[in-house]
A and B are shown apart, each in its own frame.
Chain A
């Protein structure tokens, strides 16, 4: 199967053809995929070189003239390195753009920690007004990229990953989808971790919600699910563990509730290897998830013995 990133340039190239507001800003990474788009729209596909402060600042300047910039590089260099530009040049200037990252958590484990940014969503969460899409399948990435570009001058982050679920689901760019209904807990699976969550919770009496838009957090969706499934909530996020714990707490603030936040650990592994090995090391494979989700939801969820 192709990856979300394989879809990125073709989708955005079509948007460049369709909408004269759309522009693409790159910092070398990903430029080859825009070869044809550059030929068709040389003034709207800009590669600034390996200059990430300029990448973000220039995109903001383009937005101030009325364009809709789509800005792309690896998450480490898109969100973390130029974070003050992200904060000021979009938020404080009162404008927006679509930031599209790749390789955020551990898509390239052999590349090591310099090319990992599991804290990207948590960082953006310190800022006001960002929409965050975390697709779990290349088809969903296409849908959410289109939503992002069409969202006026909003500030939108789209987190592309090589990790993917087996099948795409009808995501709408706003709400959580109910994938499974139960009565003894709500498990919110974010983006590409859905398949692992479904395998991990097989046989448990738990509701599984699928989240591909995590900011704004679908407070109403969680509350609705908790009416039947109760207020024990497990978040399974493909980025820093606990990133959405506060959002889930806020959603249930007036109710007694418990929240377990699972995701990528803070600890630097200092390991290379494969995506599968890193997934397991962070306890995000079906086996690791089943143990921790089962332990949290307990006997009421009817936890079986192993996967």
Chain B
């Protein structure tokens, strides 16, 4: 595990609940607040080639948080990795804070997009992959995190159906599946992507080794989706 210096101390995975508490005031957090936490940690700790120093580097990997609600885990990971000061966390949601209940890329260092309205991240991710490819930047990976219920939005399906045939193999999507969609079929998420030509895997969204393996598996010529299953929201 990489430990990053920030404000005279270092932060690891074990510090994330404490960092989240600075925002929520709660000592413990339920599954809904932490549904994205393990995915985010594994990505930022072991997969994404981006650091605060590389935040403007054209060759950096891009992580686009499309599911912008409940961003405490995201802010905690960004703070742990030194993108934003831990001292910002207690102001979460207040008038003078850059940290809103939906992230704003103009205000949050390290945030590649602002989000909140569902279904915007994946089309922007497609464009990011196209834009990098058009400039000969074939190395940077683009990652988009969406929620299972967010897939209800038709804009995602425009992006999914385009990205497969377009062969956008630097595009990656993580679907954090906490079974929150009202109308869904088990297994339907990966099948939807596979039907459009994506490489797909479904793993335990709390298992860091499984997530890492799924995130780093080769998928030549095809975009990749990882469905990360966590505890059902309404269980």
Contact = CB atoms under 8 A, between A and B. Distances in A.
A86 to B, nearest CB: 11
Contact of A62 (B122, B134, B137, B159): B134
Interface stretch (A47-55, A188-196, A293-301): A47-55
Interface in B94-152: 104-106, 112-114, 117, 119-120, 122-135, 137
A284 interface: no
B92 interface: no
Interface stretch (A87-95, A233-241, A243-251): A87-95
Contact of A65 (B114, B135, B154): B135
In this complex, which of B114, B127, B134 has the most chain A Cβ atoms within 10 angstroms of its Cβ? B127
A256 B112 CA distance: 49
A126 B125 CA distance: 26
A218 B105 CA distance: 32
A57 B126 contact: yes
B134 A44 contact: yes
Contacts of B155: 53-54, 57, 85
Given A85-B120, A85-B123, A66 B130 contact: no
Given A53-B123, A61-B130, A48 B158 contact: yes
A83 to B, nearest CB: 12
B13 interface: no
Contact of A54 (B104, B123, B129): B123
Contacts of B161: 49, 51
A96 to B, nearest CB: 13
A149 to B, nearest CB: 16
A43 interface: yes
B162 A61 contact: no
A171 B124 CA distance: 34
A88 B126 CA distance: 16
A64 B124 contact: yes
B159 A64 contact: no
Interface bin, chain A: 20 to 34
B106 A51 contact: no
Contacts of B137: 65
Contact of A61 (B105, B127, B135, B154): B127
Contacts of A64: 112-113, 124, 127-128, 131
B25 interface: no
A53 B123 CA distance: 8
Nearest to A43: B134
Given A49-B162, A88-B117, A57 B154 contact: no
Given A53-B155, A57-B159, A94 B124 contact: no
B192 to A, nearest CB: 16
A61 B128 contact: yes
A89 B131 contact: no
A57 B124 contact: yes
A59 interface: yes
Contacts of B119: 53
Most buried by B among A56, A63, A89: A89
Count chain A CB atoms within 10 A of each CB in B58, B114, B134 and give the residue with the most. B134
Contacts of A43: 130, 133-134
A172 interface: no
Given A61-B127, A89-B120, A54 B134 contact: no
A84 B158 contact: no
A49 B196 CA distance: 14
B124 A60 contact: yes
Q: Name the residue in A46, A63, A69 with the highest tally of chain B Cβ atoms < 10 Å from its Cβ.
A: A46
Contact of A58 (B58, B104, B126, B154): B126
Interface in A62-105: 62-67, 69, 84-85, 88-89, 92-94
Nearest to B129: A61
Nearest to B58: A66
B30 to A, nearest CB: 29
Contact of B132 (A56, A59, A65, A89): A65
A66 B119 CA distance: 22
Given A53-B155, A62-B128, A94-B105, 19 more contacts: A20-B135, A43-B134, A51-B161, A53-B123, A54-B123, A54-B155, A56-B123, A59-B127, A61-B123, A62-B134, A64-B124, A64-B128, A65-B128, A66-B58, A88-B117, A88-B120, A89-B120, A92-B114, A93-B105
26 contacts: A20-B135, A43-B130, A43-B133, A43-B134, A51-B162, A54-B162, A56-B123, A58-B126, A58-B130, A60-B127, A61-B124, A61-B125, A62-B127, A62-B128, A62-B130, A62-B131, A64-B112, A64-B127, A65-B58, A65-B134, A65-B135, A67-B135, A89-B123, A93-B106, A93-B114, A94-B105
The 6 closest A-B pairs by CB, nearest first: A61-B127, A57-B123, A65-B131, A58-B127, A62-B131, A51-B158
Interface of A: 20, 23, 25, 43-44, 46, 48-49, 51, 53-54, 56-67, 69, 84-85, 88-89, 92-94
